[in-house]
Amino acid sequence: MWNELRNLTDDIDYGTPPRDGPMVTLEIDGETVSVPHGSSIMLAAASAGRPIPKLCATDMLEPFGSCRVCLVEIEGRGGYPASCTTPVIDGMKVRTQTETLKKLRKGVLELYLSDFPESELVGGWSEFHQTIIGEGVTTHPFDGSYNHFQAPIDASNPYFLFDPAKCIVCSRCVRACNDIQGAFAITIAGRGFESKVVASQDQSFFESECVSCGACVQACPSHALVEKSLFEGDYVHAESVKA
């Protein structure tokens, strides 16, 4: 019903929530599109059939602008702003698929891949997998000596598990827990490479304030948080087996 009222399509994630307001007309890669005032460039691009790659953005949450995959070029404006946090302006002309943007996105995705288990790439079906495949990025130039592959899996919750090795620290789970459920049971601890998702006071999910609503699982783009029912037997990734 939410999407029907706003003339959106259920099977498309527009990246940012729809807005209500007077219509604004702009160009996305030469395609004219009109969206309500206050909408993001990302939503306008998706509405025009020109979806922009994303990882931290989803239309069930307010934009966050952390992943830097959704960069665009705007005529007459310097830099490469994030499309999820940049509102549309009447007459704006946006480019989403230039060679420069492709190189920038490739560099960002290669950094994510440097700390993502290689064994989890083949056959993966998460949004993260779809994004790297869509951008043609499957390898990276880094040696991978710094990673979180040996971080212990938290399978304490009876309904879902958390595999830190597959976490890209996009904060979508944290925002879903806070903004949708209001449980405030998840946070990001640490800074830089030490940043990690933790439940409550760095407890297991079962011991934490988590209410098992599933909002974090639904929001996770990399299947670091994933339903146990999708797996037979014990869950383990190959990097753990090698240790």
Q: What is the pLDDT of residue 117?
A: 94
Question: 219-241 burial, b if ≥16 CB within 10 A, otherwise e?
Answer: bbbbbbbbeeeeeeeeeebebbe
Question: Which among 117, 119, 156, 111 has a CA at the least distance from the CA of 135?
Answer: 111
- The answer to whether 106 touches 98, Cβ cutoff 8 Å, is no
CA dist., res. 65 & res. 71, Å (int): 10
What pTM does this model have?
Answer: 0.90
* 139 within domain boundaries: no
- The answer to whether 239 touches 165, Cβ cutoff 8 Å, is yes
* 17 within domain boundaries: no
Q: What is the pLDDT of residue 235?
A: 75
* 227 within domain boundaries: yes
Q: What is the pLDDT of residue 234?
A: 72
Give pLDDT tens digits along the chain (243 positions): 334 434 555 679 999 999 999 999 999 999 999 999 999 999 999 999 999 999 999 999 999 999 999 999 999 999 999 999 999 999 999 999 999 999 999 999 999 999 999 999 988 999 999 999 999 998 999 987 889 999 999 999 999 999 999 999 999 999 999 999 999 999 999 999 999 999 999 999 999 999 999 999 999 999 999 999 988 777 776 555 454
CATH number at residue 171: 3.30.70.20
- The answer to whether 114 touches 193, Cβ cutoff 8 Å, is no
CA dist., res. 40 & res. 156, Å (int): 38
First to last CA, the chain: 48
* 178 within domain boundaries: yes
Q: Hey, what's the torsion of the CAs at 232, 117, 169, 215, to 10 degrees?
A: -10
Each residue of 197-242: pLDDT tens digit? 999 999 999 999 999 999 999 999 999 999 999 887 777 765 554 5
* 133 within domain boundaries: no
Mean pLDDT of the chain: 92
Longest alpha-carbon distance in the chain: 58
Q: What is the pLDDT of residue 70?
A: 98
Each residue of 96-111: pLDDT tens digit? 999 999 999 999 999 9
Query: Which residues, in sequence order, are CB contacts of 138 under 8 Å at separation 6+?
Result: 113, 121, 132
Domain count across the chain: 1
* 190 within domain boundaries: yes
212: containing domain? 160-242
Q: What is the pLDDT of residue 238?
A: 52
* 1 within domain boundaries: no
* 179 within domain boundaries: yes
